[in-house]
Chains A and B, each alone.
Chain A
């Protein structure tokens, strides 16, 4: 076990090479709905239990199922209203369970990236072959169902191994959502030397952290989103920033939360300097235009 994962070098958020997003935009805004499937009775992982009560743990299981049956459809309609294409953090097995959701998202040209097979199957304790198997499953299953080859990864239930990033890069993925060290994309060091980056996803703006952990009110969620946006938008004038809103339909899709939330989307998308985009497009643009500059700047500062 290591004290430091060694995935990136120190790079202070100051005087970095200037990032400008397409068409002169200064903030890349993306929304990442987590479309998840939790199993009612998953096999146990030695390091983490899926549910706290004996099977069936009805309340938390059905709470999440609400997202797929009800919340998703409302959330999707809301994103349509603001012309936002979601970047889906997908429990890949949901393709088999709920193809109607997949079809609706394909029709909207939303991006699909992998969030593991189920959100109740954790990576703790996997050997390399097992971790390769879930990555290959994700690539093949998503490609077959959507025609898209996945570019991004958010580890199932944020569970990793020491080799996760190396494997993702080896399979040709371009970005990870699992690192929370920055407000801009940064290079991620991988064994195979591929160009691989971190695209800021956010736990701070994540509805699951704000509602389930911080227990905040829907209207305070709007305040937080606006404050986060205001600061990143201002700083984006100096060098382009990224703001992500990760969502879970079982949380944001509750009727009493959706209306306040619409206000935040309206506020953000009404600013001229906002590039409303997807995770894959941010990674692609940044890798093509800024990866080399970032790497050179980091190397220069290290000397």
Chain B
């Protein structure tokens, strides 16, 4: 018994990537980008506002943070809700005191259920984040269904907030083969699903330009505190170490770097956790340039045009 001979054919064996979505580009070989005021590090905070239905279909798979026990899983449902009613208020108060602006990837279900929360966000940036945490985009998904999901999610955020909303993070960062095309079709300028870079890069779609932004799944409260079970003080240390390294790299290369920090109010908004974030941000803020995803994208794009890149 042998494998079919086609198993040893390598059609995409070539220089660069095995697909045409983006160009192979080692970080050290790229032209520098610089941040306003000569800041070394841009601080981009994303706060996810999510709705986890009590009765998930889980089709075709569950996303992280979904219900765990048999129905009705009040325990996990109400703990997620805690984030949107208590935890997020702790974050907003902290951002107000430190004069920070953040991006809020927001499920359309949150916008529909709690429009007042979107009004509380004031000058923060809303980012498309799908319908809810039980509607993943996935390979093989029906095109019309995905188109409707994206159009409806964005329209809901735009209607409720009045913001243009031109950024996107897919729920669970899960995509179909055509998600990028459908995002561009719906007026999205940047997205943050691919976790392969620390800097923005140009993503290729059949419908035109889309910027891939380095939204972090690594420096994320959910990953570090919940999945890895590290201590709150360790999370703070990891933020500070990330910042210190990026600042050194920026100084050495002369080009700006990005500290992307991902937060979930149901995780970091707990009373015993918020203090660690507070201490880390107070330190980082001394030298970082705080910016939202959309603004960062535009600053980066402007320099690509100037350099002809």
Contacts and interface: CB of A to CB of B under 8 A. Distances in A.
Do A and B bind? yes
Contact of B271 (A159, A183, A301): A183
Given A158-B74, A183-B86, A228 B113 contact: no
Interface in B260-305: 270-276
B130 to A, nearest CB: 15
A14 B232 CA distance: 24
Contact of B272 (A180, A181, A204): A204
Interface in A218-248: 220, 223-225, 227-228, 230-232, 235
Contact of A3 (B54, B93, B229, B232): B54
B275 A227 contact: yes
B73 to A, nearest CB: 9
A179 interface: yes
B contact residues, range? 35 or more
A203 B79 contact: yes
B98 interface: no
A16 B239 CA distance: 33
A181 B86 CA distance: 8
Nearest to A235: B271
A161 B117 CA distance: 29
B85 A160 contact: no
A1 B71 contact: yes
A118 interface: no
A230 B70 CA distance: 35
Contacts of B120: 12, 14
B54 A2 contact: yes
Contacts of B116: 10, 12, 301
A127 B294 CA distance: 52
Contacts, number: 104
Contacts of A159: 69-70
Nearest to A176: B74
Contacts of A205: 272
A13 B272 contact: no
A230 B270 CA distance: 12
B72 interface: yes
Contacts of B185: none
Interface string A101-112: 000000000000
B77 interface: yes
Given A13-B86, A13-B89, A182-B85, A216 B229 contact: yes
Nearest to A48: B70
A214 interface: yes
Contacts of B71: 1
B82 A182 contact: yes
A180 B85 contact: no
B74 A1 contact: no
Contact of A182 (B77, B86, B93): B86
Nearest to B82: A181
Contacts of A96: none
Interface in B76-97: 77-79, 81-82, 84-86, 89-90, 93
A4 interface: yes
Contacts of A178: 74-75, 78
Interface string B111-122: 001101100100
B234 to A, nearest CB: 10
B53 interface: yes
Given A13-B85, A158-B69, A180-B78, 14 more contacts: A1-B72, A5-B54, A7-B74, A10-B113, A13-B89, A181-B85, A182-B85, A220-B231, A225-B272, A227-B275, A228-B271, A228-B272, A231-B275, A235-B271
24 contacts: A1-B55, A3-B53, A3-B54, A3-B55, A4-B54, A4-B113, A5-B54, A10-B113, A10-B116, A12-B116, A12-B120, A14-B120, A159-B69, A160-B74, A162-B72, A180-B82, A181-B82, A182-B86, A204-B272, A216-B229, A224-B232, A224-B272, A227-B232, A227-B271
